[in-house]
Structure 1
Amino acid sequence: MTQPAFPAESTTLLLDGPAGALEVAIDLPEPADARPLLAVVCHPLPTEGGTMHNKVVTMVARALRELGATTVRFNFRGTGGSAGAFDHGKGEREDLRAVVEWARAGHPGHALWLAGFSFGAYVSLSAAAALRPDALISIAPPVAGRGWEFDDIEIPEVPWLVVQGDADEIVDAQSVYDWVDSLPRKPQLVRMVDTSHFFHRKLIDLRGAIQHEVKAWLPPA
């Protein structure tokens, strides 16, 4: 199918993706706040109920939109209105690439930030070298015990934020801290005390942490 134009207002639409239709939600900032910035946010594991409507994903997008970004969320293949079937990260990277290429074509002068939560953090980081974003945001990256290989990921030298809850019951927090310590170029790390994987009762704190850490990276309005 013919790709739709990038919308001039917030909406949900279907793109032609590598495995069929991809369901995409675009949310525009308030005109007075708008900056030349696209932020694409990736959702957690589809096989465990993750979608673009996940509350952490929507809060990450809200935090960035309030800073002036145009945010793009999408459902990986086989999720929601997206065609195809789960592909253990490989196909999902291709989904992300298709969304990024479409968004960049609609706003060629905009900076691109990639964000992801849990499995979405893995997908966005593993695609980063090829997509060459201007910044990265990783929320609860599943670096150990979840079947995703982080050791060989090439992370571009761009501003990078990692946010991890100390009481995460799904992603082992200490494994994340050890991984960050092992990296030759370390990201900005925010450790959130008494915070679970899905940031129960901590979503507003997550929003504040993101906005505080990334404000210095914003392109001029």
Structure 2
Amino acid sequence: MVDTQQLDQRIAPFRAFLFDLDGVVTPTVTLHMQAWRETFNQYFAGRELEPFGDEEYYELLDGRPRFDGVAAVLASRGIELAAGTPEDDDFFSIWGIGNRKNRVFADLLAGDGIAPYPGTIRLLDALAMLDVQIGLVSSSRNAEAVLAAAGVRDRFTVVVDGLIAAADGLPGKPNPDTYVAAAERLGAAPNESVVFEDAESGVAAGRSGGFGLVVGVDRGAGADALLAAGADLVVADLDELVR
């Protein structure tokens, strides 16, 4: 094992490191928030409903599978819609609203691009010098496109995203299944692995999955909320874990 003195000693003993994508590796939260805002406010227009607020993103959407999030936002306004089908692209089903949001997000990503957080790159650089495994776990079905746009796909040996979760029948966060699957693919047990998460649902997944350390990254959810969800420690940026 290479010397780990450059790492915070709270994370140095572990074998595998599992990163969430949005809000941990890339600041795609801003693009997601904008895409959700545009989509929901178009749907709410003319229905005498409160416009979508950014605080709802953290409460109802952040870290959740897309269609679970749609259902949660609609339920908060007393709206029930049929699930629909994956081919829907209208406002008459949960799938339709989710697909419309995804189209808006893809347009924003193509137009604006994305860059990774410098602090996360600093931690990834330090981990790359060690005999450890690195994976990424995301509820997003756009994870591969985001990683490619940010130029960091080669940093992760394993990626378990929303598409893989759907194909393998893995429930999304706050269930721990996607994180457990990523650890298994890296050849590590959960108690040998660290989870890095900015969402309460993701932190809860790490805690319920029995992971050795759950690091909350406070990009807006709030340190108190992340600690309450089960984080062992909270940082504002991952470069705090590199000496």
Same fold (TM over 0.5): no
Greater percentage in strand:
1
Structure in which a larger fraction of residues adopt helix: 2
TM-score (norm 1): 0.38
Q: Which has the higher contact order (CA 8 A, sep 6+)?
A: 2
TM-score norm. by structure 2 comes to: 0.36
Greater C-alpha Rg: 2
